[in-house]
A and B are shown apart, each in its own frame.
Chain A
Amino acid sequence: MGDKALAMKGGREKASVFSVLARNWSFFFLVLTVVIFSFTGKNFFALNNFQSIIHLATTALLLACAETFVIITGGVDLSVGFVLGLSAVASASTMQLLYAAHWSAPASVLVGIVVGIAASLACGLVAGVMIARFKVPPFIATLGTMGIAIGVSYHICGGFPIGYLPPGLTDIGNMYVLYVHPASGAWSFFARPASIAANQIKELVRIAPISFILIFVFLLLLWHLLKNTRFGQHTYAIGGSMDASVRAGINTRRHLILIYVLSTFLAGLAGIVDLFQSGTGNFTTFGAQLELFAIAAVIIGGASLMGGKGRILASAVGVLLLKVLENGLNLSGVQPFYRYIAVGLILIVAVVIDQLFPDLF
């Protein structure tokens, strides 16, 4: 064992170029796909295409962040996809109710958001307590809360997407930060310049959807949380060795509960984002497999289901890789069904690379 460990250590110092490549292979792969699709995809290489890829990936990014924390601790959260739906449905129905009761739009939206997030946190709390206190395997505990989330959200919406919402949700959710009209030189923040008529909107160059701010802030926050804080350090420690963490005096129970609450918080937030982007409270459909998509992205980002490793930005790259692949294949005229195979193959490549260079990550 000692010899092997020494050999690996030696390998690390020698193979630094390899290590950088292997450690960030998903990133390089992303760059490669972008280059390839720029040639094959019609209008793929365009500012607004990249903007919309990321804009539409907001919810997936949030779910992947959630899953990153959980997976680093060595767990898995199967409930995130349906917690997203629960949050969207709960907040939408609250907004609908309050708005119909003549509350002001901002007030009903605000209360709706709070209700949606609260419902999500409840799921995480239940799962977290099950896992941390009663040692229920995360797979089962979150499968349980997933069932409860499904049941409750269908109770709330009865299988109907929830409409009648306060106006302007989608305007906020899909707004851009900067609008420029090259022809007239007019520009403004957060709304089209007053001099530009609605039908001229096509001539506008719109830069940075508002979701970019959200993504940027959250990626930064979560990156900081994981990288620079005690909370993050303990998250890795728990994933590395639960035993060591307990003996080092980490309150692992509380920590795990917090992890699952954080996970469902992010899932709940994704539900709110979905509500703002789509304008209706949609429950999650069964074929969506949002949680599996998020887990896949995190793994592509180099995390291990055994726990102990994973990085927020790498998970984000994982999401973008899958989304770019989907978008690029579509714009290149490839049938949607091939996407499943492509994703499967890429996953295998990811894990085999991970296995070949286990200590480089």
Chain B
Amino acid sequence: MARAGGFTTLIGQRWAMLFLLIELVFFSFLGGGFFTMNGFQIVLFYSTTLALLATAETFVIVTGGIDLSVGFVMGFASVVSAKLAVRFDSLGLAPELSILFAVLVTLAIGLLPGFVNGVLVARLKVPPFLATFAVQGITYGTSLIITQGSAAINVPNLANVIGNSYFIHLVPGRGIWFFTRPEAARGADVIDIIPTMVVVTVLVIAVASFLLKRTRFGRHTYAIGGNIDAALRAGINTRRHLVVIYVLSSLFATLSGIIYMLEYVSGKADAGSSFMLDSVVAVVIGGASLFGGVGTIWRTILGVLILSVLEMGLKMMGVQTFDKYIAVGIILIFAVLIDQFFPEMIHKED
């Protein structure tokens, strides 16, 4: 296949990676402070939310659906975990236990919106766009009622210690610390390496990627997205599978909400609202099709990195606030255009 034009085809297939590389080079020259270890860590640290939500979205989009509720499920989880942590704390539990229990209970509660989504989509055949849109409203309303609209605060400070810690702390000339930041004089030169939440996110994504790529569950997910009738005839329990997919999506969103709570020591109903569309965009930039059957976690993460590097890079360059929307808009269209043109070149030949 593809003897002539092999190189362009290759670029067409790998354009996302190439694009990321171009971004990295571009901002290394023009983004103030981008080309430093700190700069890269910041980009990674603030792409964790998007990465988790986009991972959730990848599963759903591969089945041919869409989950509009992830952003507000994330907010819901942040609010619930924060409120629970405060509650457990006020009951006199040790901060470690309060947070642990809050996290565990939230993970359980976080399955609920996904379950509702799944039942609506799989059993009642409600279009995913609508089912998840409705659930978005319900979770948002519930979080607002829980918090009376304001942020859920007064979370034990331990959350902050966990959420903003780094894997390694290096003090030149004094030694190396893991997880806890050494007490150092103000202004001392502590080098922080690898934020813990980034490690957590990478682990979660690795598991997700394994699930989608290497397991039967993953195979079935693609099968359903490719042709749900064929999947059904092949003996896949598509209803149950779809319910599990939406529950999984909700679970990733919940995790993201918990990380938000740990990082910001508070919960906020609309914490994830602005990431909702971005998460779909990242998946699409990663080459997935909204019609289902195509997409991988790894390429989604590439999409996430393209977006966050672009956003942080532009910020560090000092580009005017709202120009970034224009940039993202144009790149988005550009991304899909490339995806539209290159497969055509390939398909026409067979």
Contacts and interface: CB of A to CB of B under 8 A. Distances in A.
Contacts of B336: 134, 136-137, 140-141
Contacts of B138: 340-341, 344-345
A347 interface: yes
Contacts of B270: 287
A348 B133 CA distance: 9
Contacts of B148: 337
A21 interface: no
Interface in A40-98: 76, 78
Nearest to B341: A134
Nearest to B281: A143
A324 interface: no
A145 B273 CA distance: 19
Contacts of B312: none
B273 A287 contact: yes
A145 B336 CA distance: 13
B314 to A, nearest CB: 11
Contacts of A304: 127
Interface residues of B, number: 45
A347 B137 contact: yes
Contacts of A134: 336-337, 340
B329 interface: yes
Given A154-B321, A340-B140, A352 B332 contact: no
Contacts of B340: 134-136
Interface in A131-166: 134-137, 139-141, 143-148, 150-155
A147 B136 contact: no
A146 B322 CA distance: 12
Contacts of B206: none
Interface in B326-346: 326-330, 332-333, 336-337, 340
Interface stretch (B47-55, B118-126, B164-172, B235-243): B118-126
A143 B337 contact: no
A282 to B, nearest CB: 15
Nearest to A356: B124
Interface in A280-311: 286-287, 292, 295-296, 299, 304-306
A130 interface: yes
A50 to B, nearest CB: 25
Residue of A140, A152, A154, A287 with highest tally of chain B CB at under 10 A: A140
B105 interface: no
Nearest to A148: B329
B131 A351 contact: yes
Nearest to A79: B329
Given A139-B280, A305-B129, A351-B131, A147 B328 contact: yes
B227 interface: no
A343 B140 CA distance: 11
Contacts of A200: none
B280 to A, nearest CB: 7
B136 A344 contact: yes
Interface in B126-151: 126-127, 129-131, 133-138, 140-142, 144-145, 148-149
A348 B126 contact: yes
Contacts of A340: 137-138, 140-141, 144
Nearest to A355: B125
A347 B133 contact: yes
A143 B323 contact: no
Residue of B274, B277, B329, B333 with highest tally of chain A CB at under 10 A: B329
Nearest to A139: B290
Contacts of B277: 78, 143
Contacts of A355: 124-126
A151 B329 contact: yes
Contacts of A295: 133
Contacts of A189: none
A323 interface: no
Residue of A151, A154, A306, A339 with highest tally of chain B CB at under 10 A: A151
Residue of B126, B129, B137, B140 with highest tally of chain A CB at under 10 A: B137
Contact of B325 (A137, A148, A335): A148
Contacts of B281: 140, 143
A137 B288 CA distance: 12
Nearest to B143: A337
A306 B127 contact: yes
A130 B325 contact: no
A262 B323 CA distance: 26
A28 interface: no
Given A139-B290, A338-B145, A147 B329 contact: yes
A341 B142 contact: yes
A295 B127 CA distance: 13
A138 to B, nearest CB: 10
A132 B321 CA distance: 31
A136 B281 CA distance: 13
Nearest to B284: A140
22 contacts: A137-B284, A137-B290, A140-B290, A143-B329, A147-B327, A148-B326, A148-B330, A151-B329, A153-B322, A154-B325, A155-B320, A335-B145, A338-B145, A340-B138, A341-B141, A343-B137, A344-B138, A345-B134, A347-B134, A351-B120, A352-B126, A355-B124
